[in-house]
Structure 1
Amino acid sequence: MSNPAQKIVLLIGPPGSGKGTLGHAAAAKLPNVLHISLGDFVRDEMQDPNSRFGKSVSPFVNRGGLVPDNIMLDILSRRLQQPDALASSTILLDGFPRTLHQAKALNKMLTVDRVVLLQAQEELCVDRINHRRIDPVSHVSYHTLLIPAPTAQVAARLVRRETDLDENKIRGRLQFFQQNLASILAVFPGKLFALNSAVSIQEELSALQQILSEPIIVEARKDPDPSSMPVNPNSNNKVAKSLCVVCMDEEADGVVLPCGHLCGCESCLKMLLNSVAKCPICRAHMNSVVKVFQSGVVEADTQVEQKQPEVVPAQDEDDGNWSLAQQSLSVAFESASSSSARPALSMAPAAEWVNDQVPLPIAVSIAIPNMAQRSQVDICCVIDVSGSMGEDAKFQDPNDASKFVSEGMNQLDIVKHSVKAVIHTLTDQDRLSLVAFHDDARSVFTLSEMNEGGKRQAIDALEALEPQNSTNIWAGLEAGLESLRTARASPRRCFILILTDGQPTVSPPGGENMALRSYFEAHAGFTCSVSTFGFGYQLKSKMLLDVAREGKGTFAFIPDAKIVGTCFVNFVANACTNLALDAKVHLEPQNGAIFPPVLHSSFQRVPWGLVFDLGPLHFGSYRDLIVPMKIPVDVHDHHHPFLKVTLEWNSENNNHKESLIGSDFVVTADALAAFARMSSVHSLEQVIDKCDAIDPAGPKILKTLIGQLIGLEATAKDARITALLKGDLQERISKAVSTVERYKRWGAHYLRAILRSHEYQMRTNFMDPGLQVYGGVLFSELVHSGGEIFKGLPLKKYSDRNANSNNNNSDNNAIPAAVADNYYAGNSGGCFSGECVVQCKEQDGMVREKQLSQVRSGDCLQVVDTAGHVGFSPVLCLAEFQGRFDLLVLPFSRLALTPTHPLRIQGSFVRPCDMSFHMDDDLAAHHTEMPSSLIVDRVFNVVLQHSHVLLCINGMEAVTLGHGFMQAFHPFYSTKQVLTTLEQRPGWKEGHIIVAPHHPLRNQLEY
């Protein structure tokens, strides 16, 4: 494990400032310091033919494309877990971050101790790059005049990077760095130090050593002051330049260090530095001033020069080419059209080639880049106000058909709360309309901007709705489409949400989906996504899924109010990160390769090959597909091209295409994950068809699929396959088909909803672990902000009925809704009895047992990392949860914990309540005793200094608060959000927080 006092230090500087040179020197000269260049690590992995990372990034790097941020963060996380990193007290990281989104993602993943900004004039950087030569073996940079190679052998192998050959591109990279610098620095307030890199390496080392020893004296702000940010992240417009707060005349182009405020002109701030030495915004101590350029800013009444240096990402000694083409994605270009974002294509087989008669599954992967800004959207909520919507919103226990419960609401009450969630998560950039339908349809709120006034008016119109007569879904859908089509405005994306209990009494000939197809054919220039949301259990979910498929949208199953938030917050986040509503992939075989005669119905045969309807594209996400091909022997043996792929999409009324020709036969992790996902989608379609017909072959198909993925997961060791297999298929999906009664009650609706989410690779809720691998950085930020908004919404129960059971069971039989199948339960998010025992390393170096309830801040507890290495991590805080808790006591360790608290057993994450299903025969044979129960009035958990480690407790491995493991994902308890919440509670600074039942960490109705 890493040193408990380990520091993560970022080296940030323009290309040619000498980050790599300083990092190498510091690692060689300073004690226990490790230099990590992410670019060097990527290049090394690419050269290793057995590296999964190298195979996954090669398609992007080889074609000069962008390796998505999530892959780079995964690579960085694994690099930090290697032995040399774990053994180092200080890590100097260069090559990351380069953009605002990367900085935010990095800040969420780990704690940055300080940021060192290397300063150098542009001409000095250009000169250094022109004379720079790289040793491909050691990755050390040399200067042909100032720092020559130490030996003739090294000199003979020095190379010059292609990116260093064009001076215009060099200056463009320098400009890119300057345009992004202010926004990156704003993410790390209070931790910023400047270092002059125009001096000798000995002087740089001395200055760095002093910086590393200086205390952080400015408390970092939770969120940077918006007035000090260069661009409003939610703004689509360029803004006027900010003025110096001192002279109110010159542009504010200076950042105060270490607090990070961009607040004054360089001359005024330097004057303050030499006098009072206090920031004019926060009054914190100033130690230096850095000049930066604001991005997305224009002068009033001026024109931008037409000829500018070619702006490409800062791609210097440490980038490994992974950031190429980033220029259109950065916050520095937020005002640019989203249509400039170019998805990156890659192609690889998902199995080894056998011969020309055995179809080879080819994975086509599409990586859509991140964007710093959200899209503008027009949304119409089409609301069912038929008589059945006035029925009591009771729900059944998925495990016991005799138990029913009501929460004092009817279906329309829940729908109104859902629409409020949409309204409140929109901004004044967006527009919304409301349509109500029963036996006909009417517009109750015309398309209007969602400023504060618009939101109030929309809610007033919404609350006036009451249940009426019959159900004519098509009338409502057609009226909703018209409300958007007749008032459309580019570049807004249009979305329809149908909110219904799914019981139409009137339908058009051929059904609602065919009527929707006819509508789109009659209005060919109008593009709109249609999603359906089914409330309650009495749904015609097949019809709702058919409409969603025709409308290129999703289907959500909402049995009760408790999952309203997660469904609609995720929906708005997906809508606001949309690049294109409808994309297609054209597949053209090459050099005698052919497609088999029998293919899945999702492929359309055309004269030149196949067309695959991909559906929507979202910023920061992945899309993929698998197509089988028979490939001739000579094509395989000589690596001739076998497939041309063309991605076609429309964005902001412009058509775009991106093509790739494949000739590689190396199996990649992305290809295996794509194969697992698409196999699951196709198999689930068959499962649903069979189960609808009460055919016992349905569960058997699922069992076969699980067996196939178990083997694939053992080979690939990929988190995406693990989450799909162990999070979805072996859990709620298996439960949904376990009995005919359960499938009819809720399984059919649930399977159709999760099938559609995996089909489009969209995260539509927080409950299903397999969906949590989808979505980009901006999407996650919008989900978080939307969740915070939703938590503040009261759930009004308009019905006068009291919550009660409608059968012969008493209120004691009332059970939580289906959402209780989540990974965690209760207010505590998973905890232990205070009598459980941990291993604590004392100051004398001895390791002694300690009861968990006696642990205090600063104690070093024994932990184990993902690779099985044992070490110790300091405790930041002990969390004590009070109330009534039913614990499971495991017979073979006497560990007492909440039933759904994730443990790791034999390398897999399992819940205690499911452990009997995950033991192998040998383990089960030795532990035949069943778990016992224990009722306690308080439970405990800890916050450790390190994430991605497991606490050793009663001889077992268990997650802690904010653990960060994707395989045991929870949007609150496994992420930094729980830490942020705990930090605001009394007792955090003292290291012991008490959470009372009346003051939980999360609202009961939180998404």
Structure 2
Amino acid sequence: MTAWTTASDPPSYDGASSASVDTVAVRLATRALGDGSSQVLITLDPPVEPRGDVKGQRAAVDIVCVIDTSSSMSEPATLPAEPGTRAEVTELCILDVVKHALRVIIKSLNADDRIAIVTFSSRASIAADLTYMDDAGKRSVNSIMESLRPSGSTNLWDGLKTGMNILNPLARADLEASGALPRMTSRGQLPSYSEAQDRLRLASVFLLTDGVPNVTPPRGHIPMLQRYLAANPLLSLSINTFGFGYSLNSQLLYNIAEVGGGHYGFVPDLGMLGTIFVHALANTLATYAVQCAVEVEYDSTQLHVSALGQSALSVETGVREESRRDVVHVPVGESGYDATQSPETGIRPEPRRDVLRVPVGELQYGQTRDFVIFVRSQDGEPVMQDVELTVTATYQPLSRARAHGPLTSVFSLNATHGQALETPDTATIVSQSQRLAFASSVLDFFPRDITSDIHATSSVTSASPPAPRPDSAQYLAFYAIVQQMLAHQHPAAADADGQARMALQPAHWSRWGRHYLPSLARSHLRQRCGNFRDPGQLVYGMASPLFIRERDQADTAFDNLPPPRPGNYDDWRGNGTVPRGGVRSAGSSSSRTRVTTMSVWNTRVGPCFAGECLIRVAGPPSAIRVDHLRRDDLVSTPVGDRRVVAIVRTRVETPTEMCRIGDHLFITPWHPICLDGSWTFPADVSSPSNAQCAAVYSILLEPSSDAAAAAVWVGDVLCVTLGSGAVGDVRSHAFLSDYLTVARNLSTFPDWFTGDGVVECGGTARGSDGSICGFIPAGPPAVLPSTTISILV
């Protein structure tokens, strides 16, 4: 048996160029496979948060928002609808709501941050140059944003190129010389010089569009983007793309994000707008380092090395550069660690050694990046002694002065023949392997374009493939990894076995599946939480106080900012263009719903009632508070007493919409109730209003084939419980009324098996059609705040 000995976290080191910067710890773990090969898990572990006197202080950012202002952006925005309800058309158009998302970004930035706005329709235009986000700068950019109007076609490349030019010092000089940069009423106040100005600014492009480009560069979008980046090797930026609706070229948006080292977010309906933009901003602001890459150096005459998910990760092969700066070399030996620093000469590897390179891009505070490689002997025999891998992580911390360049840490991993393999991280290796295999299997459903005028790329092609056949090799491979994830209770199993499998069904594939799956796969591939709705993503970023703080602040800002005023875009017809389909997709503004709060576009709470309400029980007493209910309690139903199986408690940290029914019931708007013998939604009989409460509750009773047995009296009103099985009225729901699905979902929660039956829920996961498809486990328990609701009982 071959044993691998590994270098764990390096000791701290001092030096004029790096002493003030926390470094990335590189951890290696191994697992022997039955065929004589080994798996090696490479973990990059960045600092949890900024340290010392700047603890909690993040790097300054430059964000360029590239906004589609073509005619289709004037189409009305709709509220997400639950099955059985009609989607409401609002008085807002898509551009109005995009503006609101940008207001949240502006509100969340600090005075040292800058933002610019580029619009594109038939051609691109710089609406606002980079502006510092002090109060004056925020007012200036908000005023400019209000003036944006939809018109023309969709020249995406011109918009993207212009956005990158603003962040590119060489191209920016040409913009200034040509007068293309607008005169700003205020550029904000340039901060006085400080050490922070000698540090890197994080540069990011946010590209927002609702359609397919109809103006295409001769070489194509991806070759042009590759050419641009290759011609500007010193330009460090990420490109994040966001697609609205279903008339998208999602494959192109994914490709742009992949080549640009960013994220792709699919916004199927505007109920997803808040959660996707909140997370995109939080991930950006929590960035610790950029230009990160991992290289594995090995002797190809002895070893064959490959990466799990090699195509999806855009893995490259080649030869390591001969020199690098600030090298921390940690070989393994009897003396333990031997850390040295060589800014002048670095570590020069032996010649003619191959290298496998994984481009990582950005690292976030508190979030590891994990990769799995396979190592085997070229002759097929078990790996022998004296074989060595050298793993190198290179990265540029944003808190590090520009003049000192990137940091590089080199770690050796040696094989020692004849010792038993003992590694405590087998479960971690399996988990990370399943994550990578799942993301790769999803992307395998999309054809690969391996030709370009720069270099081979693994990007998804622009042509949308047909829905995968259940008997195809790709589907069988996907199904196999899903089953493995379920067997190991993988955190992403809920995503894999839920929305991902549903997205592959032909009816869903053509509408939303082909857009949703690349976005989901990219989140898991990069270990980034992209939204509140997909429960498998919620594990990412949970160890980062900076990410959590920025996410929660942006989330609150989105909900609490006044809703946008509807723009008067009736004159969009004047330029001779029409929205997609040739006609408006809704009636007159008088028939549209007025949006009074943006929380309806960003909700995590499902159908529930407030804990202070009284529920009828077998007694005595005849009624108790809902928040006092426990497993095995007997509650009254229309067909007799039924036993409680579980109580789903969802903590509410911000005001949420509730309806008051009569004097005794406070309930969420879409929890079915029975009035005068008919089942209806509370929102149909009472106007929702924002209220603060400690938590809301749903109840799962013992199973029954009679839908009437899944109803309880709360506040003297008959309310449906989970898993009713009802069909033909508003109680019917693909998830909430399916008893087995609900029970299976809740049984994965860590507190399902506790004695009191109270299951802590962090919110609801929603599918790409906006409907609830699962409950999300809550994070660590916290003391519930006091309620501010007064309920008459």
With the length of structure 2 as denominator, give the TM-score of the two structures.
Answer: 0.64
Q: Which of 583, 592, 595 matches 2:305?
A: 595
Q: SS in structure 1 opposite 2:445?
A: helix
Percent of residue pairs identical: 24
CA contact (8 A) 1:427 1:451 kept: yes
Deviation at 1:383, TM superposition (A): 1.1
2:113 counterpart residue number: 430
Give matches, 1:509-908, under 5 Å.
509-589=218-298, 592-595=302-305, 600-601=310-311, 602-607=314-319, 608-631=354-377, 642-652=388-398, 653=402, 654-662=405-413, 663=415, 666=423, 667-689=425-447, 692-697=465-470, 701-702=474-475, 704-714=477-487, 716=488, 721=490, 723-726=491-494, 728-738=495-505, 740-775=506-541, 776-799=544-567, 806=586, 824-826=605-607, 828=609, 834-835=615-616, 853-854=624-625, 881-882=666-667, 885-886=671-672, 892=703, 896=711
2:68 counterpart residue number: 384
Deviation at 1:822, TM superposition (A): 8.6
Deviation at 1:680, TM superposition (A): 0.7
Deviation at 1:497, TM superposition (A): 0.5
Deviation at 1:640, TM superposition (A): 5.9
Paired letter, 1:625 = F
Deviation string, structure 1 residues 347-388 (Cα, Å, up to 9, x no partner): 224x542133xx543322211121232221010111111112
Distance 2:14 2:632 in 1: 45
CA contact (8 A) 1:355 1:633 kept: no
Distance 2:209 2:764 in 1: 37
**Alpha-carbon spacing, 1:708–1:750, altered in 2? closer, same or farther (3 Å):** closer
Deviation at 1:950, TM superposition (A): 6.4
Paired letter, 1:656 = L
Distance 1:397 1:420 in 2: 25
**Alpha-carbon spacing, 1:698–1:440, altered in 2? closer, same or farther (3 Å):** farther
**Alpha-carbon spacing, 1:963–1:434, altered in 2? closer, same or farther (3 Å):** closer
Give matches, 1:410-421, under 5 Å.
410-421=93-104
Paired letter, 1:892 = P
Q: SS in structure 1 opposite 2:223?
A: helix
Deviation at 1:916, TM superposition (A): 3.1
Deviation at 1:603, TM superposition (A): 2.2
**Alpha-carbon spacing, 1:696–1:368, altered in 2? closer, same or farther (3 Å):** same
Paired letter, 2:624 = S
Paired letter, 1:629 = V
**Alpha-carbon spacing, 1:970–1:798, altered in 2? closer, same or farther (3 Å):** same
Higher relative helix content:
1
**Alpha-carbon spacing, 1:852–1:589, altered in 2? closer, same or farther (3 Å):** farther
CA contact (8 A) 1:963 1:975 kept: no
2:642 counterpart residue number: none
CA contact (8 A) 2:111 2:132 kept: yes
Give matches, 1:900-919, under 5 Å.
913-917=737-741
Distance 2:368 2:608 in 1: 34
Give matches, 1:184-263, under 5 Å.
none
Distance 1:570 1:437 in 2: 24
Distance 1:646 1:696 in 2: 41
Deviation string, structure 1 residues 266-320 (Cα, Å, up to 9, x no partner): xxxxxxxxxxxxxxxxxxxxxxxxxxxxxxxxxxxxxxxxxxxxxxxxxxxxxxx
Distance 1:452 1:631 in 2: 62
Bigger relative CO (Cα 8 Å, ≥ 6 apart):
2
CA contact (8 A) 1:344 1:366 kept: yes
Deviation at 1:552, TM superposition (A): 0.5
Q: Which of 742, 756, 759 matches 1:959?
A: 759
1:63 counterpart residue number: 8
2:578 counterpart residue number: none
Distance 2:611 2:155 in 1: 45
**Alpha-carbon spacing, 1:472–1:747, altered in 2? closer, same or farther (3 Å):** same
Paired letter, 1:777 = P
Paired letter, 2:302 = G
Q: SS in structure 2 opposite 1:611?
A: strand
Distance 1:779 1:366 in 2: 17
CA contact (8 A) 1:374 1:577 kept: yes
Q: SS in structure 1 opposite 2:615?
A: coil
Q: SS in structure 1 opposite 2:369?
A: strand
Paired letter, 2:118 = V
How many residues are matched?
595
Q: Unmatched 5+ residue regions in structure 2?
A: 50-55, 174-196, 320-353, 416-420, 449-463, 571-583, 634-644, 653-663, 674-698, 713-718, 725-733, 766-772
Deviation at 1:464, TM superposition (A): 0.3
2:52 counterpart residue number: none
CA contact (8 A) 1:384 1:438 kept: yes
CA contact (8 A) 2:72 2:150 kept: yes
Q: SS in structure 2 opposite 1:959?
A: strand
CA contact (8 A) 1:355 1:632 kept: no
For the aligned residues, what is the CA RMSD? 5.0
Deviation string, structure 1 residues 787-830 (Cα, Å, up to 9, x no partner): 2222221222415699x9859xxx9999xx9x999975146499
CA contact (8 A) 2:605 2:763 kept: no
Paired letter, 2:363 = L
Deviation string, structure 1 residues 723-746 (Cα, Å, up to 9, x no partner): 2012x11111122122x2321211
CA contact (8 A) 2:751 2:760 kept: no
Distance 1:434 1:426 in 2: 15
**Alpha-carbon spacing, 1:702–1:363, altered in 2? closer, same or farther (3 Å):** farther
Is 1:475 the equivalent of 2:155?
Answer: no
CA contact (8 A) 2:608 2:668 kept: no
Q: Which of 982, 985, 988 matches 2:788?
A: 985
Q: SS in structure 1 opposite 2:430?
A: helix
CA contact (8 A) 2:293 2:394 kept: yes
Distance 1:448 1:567 in 2: 24
Deviation at 1:712, TM superposition (A): 4.9
CA contact (8 A) 2:614 2:625 kept: no
Deviation at 1:453, TM superposition (A): 1.2
CA contact (8 A) 1:495 1:530 kept: yes
CA contact (8 A) 2:287 2:362 kept: yes
CA contact (8 A) 1:832 1:896 kept: no
Deviation at 1:390, TM superposition (A): 1.5
With the length of structure 1 as denominator, give the TM-score of the two structures.
Answer: 0.52
Deviation at 1:668, TM superposition (A): 2.2
CA contact (8 A) 1:386 1:471 kept: yes
CA contact (8 A) 1:861 1:951 kept: no
**Alpha-carbon spacing, 1:832–1:626, altered in 2? closer, same or farther (3 Å):** farther
CA contact (8 A) 1:420 1:459 kept: yes
**Alpha-carbon spacing, 1:647–1:337, altered in 2? closer, same or farther (3 Å):** closer
CA contact (8 A) 1:346 1:660 kept: no
Paired letter, 1:348 = A
Deviation at 1:709, TM superposition (A): 4.1
Q: Unmatched 5+ residue regions in structure 1?
A: 1-57, 66-323, 329-335, 838-847, 864-869, 904-909, 924-946, 988-992, 996-1007
Distance 1:513 1:609 in 2: 26
Q: SS in structure 2 opposite 1:646?
A: strand
Q: SS in structure 2 opposite 1:757?
A: helix
**Alpha-carbon spacing, 1:499–1:587, altered in 2? closer, same or farther (3 Å):** same
